[in-house]
Amino acid sequence: RSFRSFLRNQNFNSKRGTMKLSIPLILAVASGSASAFAPVSNAFRSASLSMADTAEAVETSAIEIAIPEVQEKIKAAEDDAREARMAAKNAPPPVMCVTSEEILSEGVSIELGNNIWDPAGLAEIGGDATLAWFRHSEVKHGRVAMAAFVGWWAVGAGLHFPGQLAYGLDFGSIPKTGLDAWDAVPGIGKVQMLMFAGLIEFHDELFFSRRGVHYMRGGTPGKNMVPGLYDPFGFSATRSEEALATGRLREIKNGRLAMIGIAGMYAAASISGAVPLLPEV
């Protein structure tokens, strides 16, 4: 039993010695492992910081490069918007002409069966503005024809102004036929009449643009814009729209008839027998 106790003591001491040796060994290995991994962690941290600094530098450089480009695009957009505003400001007003249907509906009368008489198809040429110009020209030519017809008739009837037309030329001495009366007028007198008619035409177009809406941009075709030339006493100001429409229709119809009449009188005066039922004029 003494021997077994001795062996047991030796075995315990050996185990305790082994345990004593194992603890320092474990501590050493752990310390060595920690010291081995410590530089790797620091290197990884340094690499991460270096990559972050590089990314930040690249991002900063990209922003610095992109800012001028963005500024240029913003400036170009502002310039385009400014040009668009200037173009819209300087652009002419939109054309809002009287429609062709409205123009053609006025002037249709019972004499033509309440139909549009246009055998040459002139109403189909161009658009609304063209037809407005046609109607304006028709009304003005009708007015000139009415004045010419009345003047031709007055001369033929022996009516004249008192006094002299020119130095040494009395109104009473003017021939009573139309073309002969025109030939008797001195050249300077003819120039004055043509200039007066031209000034009326010029100021009519001028006042249409300055004092109202032009007949090709929504104004009324045939409307006279020369102050004092038509209705100087303002009788039409109190008339209703229906009465004004009736007056315009009468003017158009009388103007058409006057154009036919003055053309017939001119033909009869120029070509003998051109109008059989018309006496010498």
At 262 the pLDDT is 94
At 95 the pLDDT is 54
Determine contact, residues 107/249, Cβ cutoff 8 Å: yes
pTM over 0.75: no
Amino acid, res. 224: N
Residue by residue, pLDDT tens for the chain (281 residues) are 444 444 454 444 444 444 444 444 444 444 444 444 444 444 444 545 455 556 555 556 655 565 677 677 787 888 888 788 777 666 655 556 778 888 888 888 787 777 888 888 888 888 888 889 999 999 999 999 999 999 998 988 888 889 988 888 898 888 888 888 889 999 999 999 999 999 988 988 888 878 778 888 888 888 888 877 777 787 888 888 888 888 888 999 999 999 999 999 999 888 888 888 777 66
For residue 15, CA distances in Å to 4, 20, 27 come to 16, 8, 18
Instruction: Please state, in angstroms and rounded to a whole number, the distance separating the CA atoms of residues 35 and 23.
Output: 18
Which of 265, 276, 280 shows the shortest CA–CA distance to 146? Answer: 265
Residue with tokens 């009869």: 268
The helix or strand, by DSSP H or E, that contains position 165, with its residue range, turns out to be strand 164-166
The dihedral formed by the CA atoms of 232, 234, 239 and 243, expressed in degrees to the nearest 10: 0
The helix or strand, by DSSP H or E, that contains position 34, with its residue range, turns out to be helix 2-90
